[in-house]
A and B are shown apart, each in its own frame.
Chain A
């Protein structure tokens, strides 16, 4: 049994909203409202959902780039949220991040070599010669050329920029990488290249990914386990084949049916959800999804369903299913 590298328990992130003359807290945006999941070594765990579901915030919380309101994030058994600054800094070497937008995630004033080498410099790892060697190594790993080392971000294409972002994440040889929509900003034909790269690196370096994405097709291709988020909660969590071939939660079914298939002969039997994606400021009572759900029962508007194992580690939070 592979060890769980990352374990998230009861994670909550509530952003206070201040108002009135006294600037007191009048409300909270419950971006993440109590979620649990585990990621094993060499595994890609997908977090999917639409805007406002909390997936991006979760990614930031797991790396403690923002301080969660509640919960635990265990990395190899140690709670990252309880570490002091020094210990956190050391742990950061093992947990890195790749952002969505390759344009703003690379400092335009630094060369590729500097960008990739920065984590090494910050942690004072090795002499400058050794650092240079690591940088060149990593550049090759992401399928760039050594000559790219002296280039500036604006001289690179979108795909190349993203490779640099991945290289930067890898320079400290981490075990865990949070990838926040890493291919969303890239052209279709480049996405495939970057996804293939990530897969290859995972095999080679035994990396674990928390893969955050709104693009279900991409998630199907690269993830091993998937959690579907909605308004700060996980509604369904299962292994990738189960989620896509046997979705149980009405939201998951609607989400999957909404994706247009690149095949003109298949006109999907769409479950069109009424209304808009609600705001996490005021989530509905009971099941968060019930106002838009086509399969709801009376209990759905008063009791919030918990995640229950429906067999084969396929978890669903729904009153109607089961």
Chain B
């Protein structure tokens, strides 16, 4: 496919994809890769700098940072993927209905979206988490919902553009009903936009999740999660820099890799979008 060819030419995009896949694999095979159990505490070995024995050092409880990072990948990846899926599914449905049916439905849905957008993203997630409870599943729901307005808006715009095309009218003339038209004509033609939006939202979601955990509202101890680890290491920045730095680095690397991949994907799909 021409798209794949174009994508391959962008080295940075491939690099991004490679890194992200590597992190995914790391998450998948965590039990085999991590040298130690991430929750095991050994105060006697606490606050050790990176070196032999503990490749990335230990935190104040003597937990191996490396193992926690490896296991942390599972949490971060899961949160990222699931929350984006929630945003995508709900947001797409809203955008689809709003754009396709128009009229009052559109007005109502867009007003709701506007209200949601008037909250800064993290605030929305914060409200949800503090009311529902702190833990992974609530973090995912919170971050997922806070991503809905963006999806709804973009999907609605794409649907409006697709609706302008005469092939929609042709399908109607052939006797197709609304659901058939949405399923066979609208969705395939907005698919590219949804994919791009998803890859570009993933970093944001991961950062939101990390932020929530950083301030203590997300993942609870002893679960290892990069944002959490970043927060926990706050007090030790000068004495034991490795506790925050490595998780922070991981967040940075994973977000960057998705951004590079997403940019490349968008550029590769763009010419097709123009046709």
Contacts and interface: CB of A to CB of B under 8 A. Distances in A.
The answer on direct contact between A and B (beta carbons under 8 Å) is yes
A170 to B, nearest CB: 11
Interface string B170-199: 111111100010001100110100000000
A89 interface: yes
B229 to A, nearest CB: 44
Interface string A126-155: 000000000000000000000000000010
Interface stretch (B85-93, B147-155, B161-169): B161-169
Contacts of B185: 107, 109
Contacts of B174: 92, 96, 118-119, 122-123, 168, 172
Contact of A118 (B165, B171, B275): B171
Given A109-B189, A123-B174, A168-B170, 8 more contacts: A89-B175, A92-B173, A107-B165, A107-B171, A107-B188, A109-B185, A122-B171, A154-B275
Interface of B is mostly: helix
B189 A123 contact: no
A292 interface: no
A119 B170 CA distance: 9
Contacts of B165: 104-105, 107
A211 interface: no
7 contacts: A63-B173, A65-B169, A92-B174, A105-B170, A107-B185, A107-B189, A109-B191
B176 A108 contact: no
Nearest to B171: A118
B261 to A, nearest CB: 23
Interface residues of A, number: 25
Given A107-B189, A109-B189, A122-B180, A65 B172 contact: yes
A156 to B, nearest CB: 12
Nearest to B172: A65
B175 A104 contact: no
A65 B173 CA distance: 7
B188 A118 contact: no
Interface of A: 63, 65, 89, 92-93, 96-97, 99, 101, 104-110, 115, 118-119, 122-123, 154, 165, 168, 172
B167 A107 contact: yes
Interface of B: 164-167, 169-176, 180, 184-185, 188-189, 191, 275
Given A104-B164, A119-B175, A172-B174, A99 B189 contact: no
Nearest to A123: B175
B166 A104 contact: yes
Nearest to B169: A65
Contact of B167 (A89, A106, A154, A172): A106
Contact of A97 (B164, B173, B184): B173
A165 B174 CA distance: 12
B176 A122 contact: yes
B21 to A, nearest CB: 28
Given A107-B185, A109-B188, A99 B169 contact: yes
A286 to B, nearest CB: 36
A113 B185 CA distance: 15
A92 B164 CA distance: 22
Contacts of B188: 107, 109-110
Contacts of B180: 122
Given A109-B188, A109-B189, A154-B275, A104 B176 contact: no
Contacts of A92: 173-175
B156 to A, nearest CB: 19
9 nearest A-B pairs in the assembled complex, by CB-CB distance: A119-B174, A105-B166, A109-B188, A107-B167, A104-B165, A92-B175, A99-B166, A104-B166, A122-B176
A137 B136 CA distance: 58
B59 to A, nearest CB: 51
A89 B173 CA distance: 9
Contacts of A99: 166, 169-170
B167 A104 contact: yes
B127 to A, nearest CB: 35
A92 B176 CA distance: 10
Given A92-B173, A119-B175, A122-B175, A108 B184 contact: no
B173 A108 contact: no
A122 B169 CA distance: 14
A65 B167 CA distance: 13
A107 B167 CA distance: 6
A93 B175 contact: yes
Nearest to A120: B174
